[in-house]
Amino acid sequence: MTLVLEEFLPYRFNRLAETLSKNASKAYQSEYGLTRPEWRAFALLGQKGTMTATGISHFSTMHKTKVSRAIYALEQKRWLVREVDEGDRRMARITLTAQGKKAYDRLVPMMQRMEKEMISRLGSENSKALFKGLAALEALYLEPENGK
């Protein structure tokens, strides 16, 4: 009995995830020097507005230490500010600065173009199948609150 690695689903996902991410990272990596965790936290802040570190951690499925370090780096870049919540002083409300928003508005269209390009290269039938399959997997394996 032999297992064919290139047909093994977890491996296929890892390989594709790595390839797609590497491809996507070109923009935020070279233009803005962001790491992947930084990009994720940043994208989430741009999408949702003010958040706490725990919120970012939850929605981005990154460990809180990773988030903590990403936030620190973005703060050094002056792309976000934190403000201790006076109602509960354990947490801080994190918001993009004007400078951060400007970068977001420049970066996001690039990322979206890239994604559109990829999907169009796939063709509508294949991409439809892909989305269907991904959605089904996510429904099975991801906590329901994620991505909501």
Partner DNA sequence: TCTTGATAGTTACATTTTCAACGGTTACAT
Partner DNA sequence: ATGTAACCGTTGAAAATGTAACTATCAAGA
- Interface contacts to DNA, rule CB under 7 A: 35-37, 52-55, 62-69, 71-72, 82, 88-92
110 binds, among a copy of itself, DNA, none (CB under 5 to 8 A by kind): none
Q: Is 6 in the site for a copy of itself (CB under 8 A)?
A: yes
Residues touching a copy of itself, count (CB under 8 A): 60
Q: Is 76 in the site for a copy of itself (CB under 8 A)?
A: no
* C-alpha pair distances (Å), 130 with each of 9, 35, 89, 125: 14, 27, 44, 9
* C-alpha pair distances (Å), 138 with each of 2, 129, 141: 28, 14, 5
Select from 146, 130, 139, 132 the least CA-distant residue to 12. Answer: 130
Which CB sits closer to DNA, 59 or 103?
Answer: 59
